Amino acid sequence: MKENSLLVIFMLVFLSTSFAATVDIYRSIGPSNTTALATGTLAGSLSISGNTATFASSQANNIGVGDALQYASSGGAIDAIAFIIARESAAGYQVQSAAGANPSSVGSTTTWNIYRAYTTLADAEAGTENIGIDVTVRDFDTGDRDIAANNERWHFVCYNGRSSDTSVVTVNGWTTSADHYIRIFTPYLSTEVGTSQRHTGSWSTSAYRLVVANAAALTLRADYTRVEGPQIRITAVSAVDARGIHVDAPGSAVDIRLSHNIIRGITNSSSDWHVGIGVWSAGTGEVRVWNNIIYDFAGTVDCVGIVVKYERPCA
């Protein structure tokens, strides 16, 4: 009987530790937007119970997943922060703490603001938060995180901003795995945001856009990364290797997925390797590319839409 009891206890412990649900972390990016998207002094009260945030009035349609909600959980000063993980209605959202747990509850407060968590994708990758957020609740991220060990998936949510995002991005230093990947995407579902932040098949200034010159706009060095929906543009080329997306993930097992993006170049490059998507290294894994619009990559040598450096089987 004792042996059977010990076996049951062992099985329960094994199950609880081995099948813990992966935590999905969301962080929004709004280029050049350091000001609040909404505030309690204008929009009325906020209450939070469990993982549900309820506002007294409807919020703007551009507020959605990844946005940071700072608020006073007790007293009259900002002392807590939560992040939107789902939109139920214009006045109701699911939220969580920076670590993915239920945030501090509050019965009713008008001391609150909603911000984009970051003002550039590069800052989000590095963990450099929006300076508009109150300093008492800032420093919620560090960047270069081991999301495999922490059982997390990270979603960087790209919104249309006050301008283009002009900072070169390199995703590097993160420890990822097949179930614990980085996802960079533009929201469009009603459960994510009230109005789509994604292009509709042609270049749009009403959707997120990463626009850089004389460099690779987005370099991926984390082995498990997905990019879904951004617009990326190279506006000038003064040296080789100015690419829209540059894949350089030499891990032993790589899974990188690129879909639904618009990637633009310039039509008169005088430098080599001006390409839309360049796969330079992908270890022994896969790089999957589908449903992308790539154009205006023209020039002297090897200026094309998609290039793979090494001869490898394509599936």
Residues 6+ apart with CB under 8 A from 151: 20, 22, 23, 180
Same-domain check for residues 39 and 180: yes
Task: Give the amino acid at 298.
Answer: A
Same-domain check for residues 160 and 228: no
pTM above 0.85, yes or no: yes
- The domain of 203 spans 198-315
pLDDT (0 to 100) of residue 108: 95
Q: What are phi and psi of 41, to 5 degrees?
A: -65, -20
Q: Name the strand (E) or helix (H) holding 125.
A: helix 121-126
Pick the last residue of a domain from 138, 157, 189. 189
Same-domain check for residues 211 and 263: yes
Same-domain check for residues 173 and 206: no
Q: In what order do the strands lie in the sheet with 245-248?
A: 169-171, 218-220, 245-248, 277-281, 306-308
Same-domain check for residues 92 and 223: no
Q: Which two tokens stand for residue 177?
A: 């795995």
pLDDT (0 to 100) of residue 242: 80
Q: Where are the beta strands (DSSP E) in 159-254?
A: 169-171, 182-185, 209-212, 218-220, 224-228, 231-234, 245-248
The answer to whether 44 and 55 are in contact (CB under 8 A) is: yes
Cα dihedral sign, 180-184-187-193: positive
* Rounded CA separation 143/256 (Å): 20
Same-domain check for residues 113 and 230: no
Number of structural domains the chain divides into? 2
Same-domain check for residues 273 and 241: yes
The three-point CA angle 99-166-287 to 5° equals 65
Residues 6+ apart with CB under 8 A from 4: none
pLDDT (0 to 100) of residue 255: 94
Same-domain check for residues 27 and 63: yes
Same-domain check for residues 224 and 100: no
- Report the greatest alpha carbon distance in the chain: 80
Same-domain check for residues 129 and 214: no
Pick the last residue of a domain from 170, 189, 208. 189
Same-domain check for residues 272 and 133: no
pLDDT (0 to 100) of residue 158: 98
Pick the last residue of a domain from 131, 158, 189. 189
Q: Name the strand (E) or helix (H) holding 12.
A: helix 2-18
Each residue's pLDDT tens digit, 117-137: 999 999 999 999 999 999 999
Residues (pLDDT < 50) of the chain are 5-17, 311-315
Same-domain check for residues 185 and 202: no
pLDDT (0 to 100) of residue 114: 98
pLDDT (0 to 100) of residue 111: 97
